[in-house]
């Protein structure tokens, strides 16, 4: 039995970030699927709420102790598993990597989440097309911000030629481009990072299409 259990959803980008980090660190874990839409959203159950008061995914349970929020989980993994560090030792470099993570995590991803999209429909009668446009607006905004930031720091990866926590966040956000069929041509640095990471097994195996709860999985 694994001591790590990840409650998550194949398509959730916050879940995808954590799966990448677990794979990079070669931590084996039990995959528990929480379907965000079926059964009215399995994350809303009282039972799940005891693990995660935000009723969202992912939740990592380690030795029976739950942690929510992808940033908190990835920092924790880096503190308890020294294999393949996701942050360097220098405090300023760590800060820049955290800044990149947060441009995704708090800067743009929350705006395209299921919850605000549902409120747009409820309050403003937003159509599917209007919700799609809203999502794409924030994705493009985030990509432009990341491009402007990472062009000064990236090598093969987001920061130089070593993988860091930033790559977990950037790659999960780039999945939004796949979902909405957006070209990465306007963001050459992000395109390069995407090409690098896509070749690495830890990233590939974390991709939404290859999870046990993905309908694409064969």
Query: Which of 69/158 has CB closer to its own copies?
Result: 69
How many residues lie near its own copies (CB under 8 A)?
Answer: 47
CA dist., res. 123 & res. 146, Å (int)? 31
Query: Which of 144/216 has CB closer to its own copies?
Result: 144
* Window 111-150: residues binding its own copies (CB under 8 A): 111, 116, 119-120, 123-124, 126, 130, 133-134, 137, 145-146, 148-149
- The torsion angles phi and psi of 178, rounded to 5 degrees, stand at -65, -45
CA dist., res. 49 & res. 46, Å (int)? 5
- The torsion angles phi and psi of 8, rounded to 5 degrees, stand at -160, 180
- Residue 12's contacts (CB-CB under 8 Å, 6 or more residues apart) are 36, 57, 58
Q: Whose CA is closest to 60, among 101, 94, 15?
A: 15
Part of the chain binding its own copies (CB under 8 A), chosen from 105-113, 167-175, 181-189, 191-199: 105-113
54 binding its own copies? (CB under 8 A): yes
* Window 150-169: residues binding its own copies (CB under 8 A): none
Strands 65-68 and 59-62 turn out to be antiparallel
Q: Whose CA is closest to 103, among 150, 51, 36, 40?
A: 150
Query: Which of 26/121 has CB closer to its own copies?
Result: 121
107 binding its own copies? (CB under 8 A): yes
Residues that bind its own copies (CB under 8 A): 49, 53-56, 62, 65, 67-69, 71-73, 75-76, 79-80, 91-92, 94-96, 98-99, 101-103, 105-107, 109-111, 116, 119-120, 123-124, 126, 130, 133-134, 137, 145-146, 148-149
């Amino acid at each position: 039995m694994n001591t790590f259990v990840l409650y998550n959803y194949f398509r959730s980008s916050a879940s995808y970030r954590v799966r990448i980090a677990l794979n990079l660190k070669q931590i084996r874990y039990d995959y528990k699927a929480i379907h965000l839409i079926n059964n009215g959203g399995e994350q809303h159950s009282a039972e799940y709420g005891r693990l995660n008061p935000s009723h969202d995914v992912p939740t990592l349970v380690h030795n029976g102790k739950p942690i929510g929020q992808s940033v908190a989980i990835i920092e924790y993994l880096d503190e308890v598993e020294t294999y393949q560090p996701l942050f360097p030792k220098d405090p300023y470099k760590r800060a820049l990597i955290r800044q990149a993570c947060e441009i995704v995590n708090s800067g743009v991803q929350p705006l395209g989440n299921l919850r605000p999209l549902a409120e747009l429909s409820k309050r403003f009668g937003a159509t599917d097309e209007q919700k799609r446009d809203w999502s794409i607006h924030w994705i493009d905004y985030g990509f432009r911000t990341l491009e402007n930031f990472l062009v000064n720091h990236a090598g093969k990866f987001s920061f130089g030629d070593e993988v860091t926590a930033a790559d977990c966040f950037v790659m999960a956000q780039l999945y939004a481009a796949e979902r909405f069929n957006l070209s990465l041509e306007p963001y050459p640095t992000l395109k390069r990072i995407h090409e690098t990471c896509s070749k690495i097994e830890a990233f590939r195996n974390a991709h939404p299409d290859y999870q046990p709860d993905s309908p694409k999985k064969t």
